[in-house]
């Protein structure tokens, strides 16, 4: 049911972003890009949700969320060419261009940032741009990125 805003005239608007909880197998088969999951997370972190985000007129994204009960780690991913990613990248202070995909035999290029609220890492793998962020040490995010595994259909 669409939300209404008090004192707003006209018909209620549909939300720009729709989120739904999904199973990993659904995410892997339904997305139009390869989906990646870290095979390693920092000790004590448990997967708490997996969601598909549909952004009106801009496509889809998948998000894994882990928590140790105090802080969280998010892995957000979408097609690397998706224009919505420019909005996400810009809101996080990352460069406007995506990291270069790896050439044969190379490790992926990644943008890394540390800020008062934690760290984030942005990389591109097989036409998927992956943003890993959390209130943890940047080395933990790098280790998660080093252990990304493609989820097969």
- Confidence at residue 94, expressed as pLDDT on a 0 to 100 scale: 58
Enumerate residues 6+ apart whose C-beta is below 8 A from 88. 76, 131
- Confidence at residue 1, expressed as pLDDT on a 0 to 100 scale: 43
Task: Give pLDDT tens digits for 81-131.
Answer: 877 666 666 555 555 555 555 555 555 444 444 455 678 888 888 889 898
- Tracing tokens 């800020």 back to the chain, one arrives at 115
Q: How many CB atoms lie within 10 A of CB 147?
A: 13
- Confidence at residue 89, expressed as pLDDT on a 0 to 100 scale: 60
Collapsed DSSP state (helix, strand, coil) of residue 52? strand
Collapsed DSSP state (helix, strand, coil) of residue 90? helix
Nearest Cα residue to 59 out of 26, 88, 99, 94: 88
- What's the predicted TM-score (pTM) here? 0.74
């Amino acid at each position: 049911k669409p939300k209404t805003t008090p004192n707003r005239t006209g018909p209620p608007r549909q939300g720009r972003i729709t989120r739904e909880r999904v199973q990993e197998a659904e995410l892997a088969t339904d997305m139009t890009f390869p989906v990646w999951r870290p095979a390693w997370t920092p000790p004590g972190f448990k997967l708490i949700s997996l969601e598909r985000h549909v952004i009106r007129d801009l496509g889809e994204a998948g998000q894994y969320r882990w928590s140790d009960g105090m802080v969280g780690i998010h892995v957000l991913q979408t097609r690397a060419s998706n224009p919505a990613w420019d909005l996400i990248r810009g809101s996080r202070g990352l460069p406007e261009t995506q990291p270069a995909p790896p050439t044969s035999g190379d490790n992926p290029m990644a943008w890394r940032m540390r800020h008062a609220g934690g760290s984030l890492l942005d990389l591109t793998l097989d036409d998927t741009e992956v943003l890993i962020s959390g209130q943890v040490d940047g080395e933990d995010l790098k280790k998660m990125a080093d252990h990304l595994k493609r989820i097969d259909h």
